[in-house]
Amino acid sequence: MTRTVLVAGTASHVGKSTVAAGLCRHLANEGRSVAPFKAQNMSNNARVVPRADGRAGDGSPDDESPDDESLDEDPWGEIGVSQYVQARAARIPATTDHNPVLLKPRGDGESQLIVDGRAAGHFAAGTYYDDHWDDALSAARAAHDRLAREHDVVVAEGAGSIAEINLHDRDLANVETARFSDADILLVADVERGGVFASLVGTLELMPDDLREQVVGCVITKFRGDRSILDPGVEQFEDRTGVPVLGVLPYDDPGLPEEDSVALPAADERSVRGAADGVPADRTVTVAVPRLPRISNATDLEPLAAEPGVRVAYVPLDGSLADVGADAVVIPGTKNTVDDLLELRDAGMHEELRRFDGPVVGLCGGYQMIGEEITNASLEGTGEDERVEGVGLLPITTRFDPEKTLEAVTRDISGVGPLAEADGEVSGYEIHAGETEVVGEVRRPFADEGAATDRVLGTYLHGLFENEVALDGFVERVFEVAGRERPDGDSVESDPYERAASLVEEYVDLSPILG
């Protein structure tokens, strides 16, 4: 019989995703068939994956599955990046069953609702719960049932806190998942925030009574210092609640891609990250990233930050590229191109970009922004403007329409503009609304997609810098234009999945969870 473990939390960003990924890799290393699951995620970091084929493990049809005809016409869907990461940790292909309901915030209290990988529309929270909740619950139950038929263990991840008493009648990722899967609940709390025992006790007190009985233990994360100082609190907590603390994880980031933008600096803050510590200043470069308020797929930038001698500097929209010493700029994706473009223009960043004379790369929404104009803008933005002027770095125009492009792709890169040093094959995914047309003289970085001049390049391809040929080519070009010598050394590499598994194996007593 399949066992489901729900990794629930006392709050957001307490380490649930890391614990879930570590469990998935640990079980896969033991030879057990394991699948990740998150009934409902809220994130603008998404991945394109195959839609679930809707077949039970024995090949028989499932009445609650997506219809085969729609799958033939539209085989791709999107899920939150954490479940994509956890599927890789489990060593299985990711599908939409791993995250059947995804909410992508777009501003003005609205989110795009994704069910079984497909967009269902933009809705305010009240409309979602009033009109779409039952469909979302049905989709989540069906997805879990399919995974349970095909795997020995399902590692489910909760969302936020499992003790939000105002949401207990509509908490899909926590309460409903625990009930329809009869999950063993592992409660995760973050000691770094302070008040960890109050958080744990309060969460147990406020959980629904039936779920309180399903809690098998707790894990405390992000601990620094002498464990013996924590032990008296652990003992008192266990005496008070009867719930064992199964582990205390040290503060150690295994390097998994971030689920959302919570870990990024706020939109009005500057932050520098990267692998340039200890590297002489004359052998480093800085890649500036305008901090879009609705930034999405920020994981596109993580490979750059791991490259020796490269700093990635997030710059507020009213900030200065010169102040961070920018040698290149990458404009990332966004869940709302139009509103972020308007804010970028209002803050003056468009003039900063026009004056900048180094390499510029626009990814997805960033590609759309650096064109000449966007039309049908009200379909994407929350205002009524039908036309918005772009930054004007590329002779392209984008027109939004109700259709959304979702596709995993492999392309040959031709080596132009900021990627002039790149030559080979790259893989990634497209996830965007709108179609972009070239209206002037440009070169194509790919046979039928993107646009480039000698200095500026735009593409819809997410995951571009996850390809060594593109990453190496771009970094080489930035050092060349900056007139600096690129340092020797490989990218900062370690297997984040094995590191997450090691954390769980070394510091958590898994026997009450997995038997």
Provide the CATH number for the domain around residue 368. 3.40.50.880
Question: Which segments in the chain show pLDDT lower than 70?
Answer: 53-73, 259-271, 273-277, 489-494
CB atoms within 10 A of CB 439: 14
Domain identity same for 445 and 313 = yes
So what's the pLDDT on residue 139? 97
Please give the radius of gyration of the chain, using alpha carbons only, rounded to the nearest integer. Answer: 23
d(CA 104, CA 100): 13
Residue 58: which H helix or E strand, with range?
A: none
Domain identity same for 452 and 333 = yes
So what's the pLDDT on residue 225? 86
* Lookup result for tokens 């147990």: 204
Given the residues 98, 144, 364, 432, select the one marked as catalytic.
364
Catalytic (active site) residue 24 = no
pTM score:
0.86
Is the distance from CB of 49 to CB of 88 less than 8 angstroms? no
So what's the pLDDT on residue 56? 31
* Pairing, β 333-334 against β 295-296: antiparallel
So what's the pLDDT on residue 488? 80
Considering the domain boundaries, does residue 216 fall inside one? yes
Domain identity same for 244 and 326 = no
Tell me phi and psi for residue 467, to 5 degrees.
-90, 125
DSSP 462: B
504: domain CATH number? 3.40.50.300
Question: Where does residue 156 fall: left (phi above 0), alpha (psi -120 to 50 degrees), or beta otherwise?
Answer: beta
> 123, 144, 165: which is the final residue of a domain?
144
Domain identity same for 109 and 185 = no
Domain identity same for 107 and 10 = no
d(CA 373, CA 192): 46
Per-residue pLDDT tens over the stretch 168-227: 999 999 999 999 999 999 999 999 988 999 999 999 999 999 999 999 999 999 999 888
Considering the domain boundaries, does residue 120 fall inside one? yes
So what's the pLDDT on residue 61? 35
> 144, 162, 187: which is the final residue of a domain?
144
Considering the domain boundaries, does residue 488 fall inside one? no
Is the distance from CB of 462 to CB of 429 less than 8 angstroms? yes
Torsion of CA 202, 154, 67, 71, to 10 degrees: 110
Considering the domain boundaries, does residue 487 fall inside one? no
Domain identity same for 393 and 471 = yes
First vs last Cα of the chain: how many Å apart? 13
Domain identity same for 240 and 332 = no
Domain identity same for 242 and 379 = no
Considering the domain boundaries, does residue 167 fall inside one? yes
Considering the domain boundaries, does residue 489 fall inside one? no
Domain identity same for 286 and 392 = yes
> 144, 165, 198: which is the final residue of a domain?
144
Domain identity same for 75 and 181 = no
Domain identity same for 137 and 268 = no
Of the candidates 147, 156, 38, 18, the one whose C-alpha atom is nearest the C-alpha of residue 89 is: 18
Domain identity same for 301 and 339 = yes
* Total domain count, the chain: 3
User: Which two tokens mark 335?
Assistant: 């869940």
Residue 334, C-beta contacts closer than 8 angstroms, at least 6 positions apart:
44, 292, 294, 295, 296, 340, 364, 365, 366, 369
Considering the domain boundaries, does residue 334 fall inside one? yes
d(CA 428, CA 445): 14
So what's the pLDDT on residue 253? 82
User: Which two tokens mark 158?
Assistant: 């909760």
Catalytic (active site) residue 364 = yes
Torsion of CA 163, 166, 167, 169, to 10 degrees: 110
So what's the pLDDT on residue 55? 37
* Pairing, β 456-459 against β 451-452: antiparallel
Cα dihedral 382, 387, 392, 397 sign:
positive
Tell me phi and psi for residue 10, to 5 degrees.
-85, -15
d(CA 63, CA 41): 24
State which residues form the domain around 10: 1-33+152-255+494-515
Considering the domain boundaries, does residue 95 fall inside one? yes
